[in-house]
Amino acid sequence: MSFKFDPNVIHRYLNLMVDDPFHRYWSWDFCFNSFSESRETNKDSLALSLASYLASWGMYRGSGGLLQKNHRIHEQAVEIINSEKYDLVRCHKNLEIDRSLIPLILDLKASIGAYYNSLDFIRGGLGRHFKILLLITLLLL
């Protein structure tokens, strides 16, 4: 089976977002912009932006542990992300990530993972899909 790249498919996908200013695809942009504006932004506000993004991608489903928690569960993750230690791996238009930063990225992954793994959930916990989406999101902020 071969794959043929069709730019029209991508344009149709992106037009869903362009044509609707309230489309869920914008949720990452809002979350990214919240984290990019300032390190001084209120931790509660950043946690709310992160929770809103995760909810828009189905991470607050009934079978998951996050549904039993409010947005403030992400405040420690916000502190980790905003730590000066990880400035070199934060997504920025003027920043290129190279191979030498892989150990720092893995350290960030471990720090975020350790935080979420330390939490108690009434039921469900954090599934593998959630952890992958969360990690990708947090690394891109």
In a domain, 16, yes or no: no
Res. 140: pLDDT tops 80: no
Count of domains forming the chain: 1
In a domain, 21, yes or no: no
Residue pLDDT, tens place only, 12-64: 878 888 888 888 888 888 888 888 876 667 899 999 998 998 888 887 877 67
Question: Rounded distance, CA 83 to CA 141, Å?
Answer: 12
In a domain, 49, yes or no: yes
| Angle, CA 115 vertex, CA 86 and CA 82 arms, to 5° | 30
4-29 as b/e: b if 16+ CB within 10 A: eeeeeeeeeeeeeeeeeeeeeeebbe
Residue pLDDT, tens place only, 82-120: 899 998 887 776 777 789 999 998 899 889 888 888 887
Question: Rounded distance, CA 66 to CA 109, Å?
Answer: 19
Which range marks the domain in which residue 88 is found?
30-140
Q: How many CB atoms lie within 10 A of CB 31?
A: 23
In a domain, 91, yes or no: yes
Percent of the chain exceeding pLDDT 90 equals: 16
